[in-house]
Amino acid sequence: MVSEHSDAEGGETALALKILVAGGFGVGKTTMVGAVSEIRPLRTEELLSEAGQLVDDTDGVDQKVTTTVAMDFGRITIRSGLSLYLFGTPGQDRFWFLWDELSQGALGAVVLADTRRLEDCFPAVDYFEHRHIPFVVAVNCFTGARSYGAHDVSRALDLDRGTPVVLCDARDRDSGKEVLIRLVEYAGRMHTARMLDSVG
């Protein structure tokens, strides 16, 4: 989703871009959207239930007591005239039917990864690769998790050459903002390259 509107004061055109924040269960998507959003984020969280224990793998995230059941929504202004609308996706398999709707018109995506459960972000990586949606992998550096370099994570996920991998702290606004800026720059390059390919 790219929307433009004129700023009433200066007549400057403002650009709003749609960004997805995806990844596995308990990786920090809701936390990241909440940390960077300049508005009170919309959350659709519910308490984890006993019934859900049969389908939600909480190994490694046993402190987690809620889960997103539809989406998170937030907004951040990157600079004057450029805002990002952030849509956090639900992490569990049973909610993936929502991803197609959420991804309509998205400029790109952030795939959050936890090196303790790296395999949990494979479905998100596959989803965006197959739909040719530009994405960056943001490794959420959890306390106590073994640290890996960006190159190691890229190799472990078998990412396409050039797909950015960045280290971040999903709780920190500046860290999250840096991830989003990196995504916008990368997605811009990818869209420009595709336009040039289609002309040539």
pLDDT digits (tens, 9 = 90+) for 48-100: 445 445 454 555 545 545 554 457 899 999 989 999 999 998 866 666 677 88
- Cα 39 from Cα 62, distance rounded (Å): 29
Q: What is the pLDDT of residues 161-195, one digit of tens each?
A: 999 999 999 999 999 999 999 999 999 999 999 88
A 10 A CB-CB count for 83 gives 17
Q: Could you give the C-alpha distances from 13 to 81, 111, 191, in angstroms and in order?
A: 6, 29, 20
Q: 21 — phi, psi (to 5°)?
A: -120, 110
Rounded (5°) CA angle 130-135-140: 125
Q: Is the pLDDT of residue 20 over 50?
A: yes
Q: What is the pLDDT of residue 128?
A: 96
Q: Is the pLDDT of residue 9 over 60?
A: no
Q: What is the pLDDT of residues 115-162, one digit of tens each?
A: 999 999 999 999 999 999 999 999 999 887 788 899 999 999 999 999
A 10 A CB-CB count for 64 gives 12
Q: What is the pLDDT of residue 110?
A: 98
CA proximity to 109, closest of 188, 15, 19: 19
Q: Is the pLDDT of residue 111 over 80?
A: yes
Q: What is the pLDDT of residue 64?
A: 45
DSSP 102-151: HHTT-SEEEEEE-GGGGGGGHHHHHHHHHTT--EEEEEE--TTSPP--HH
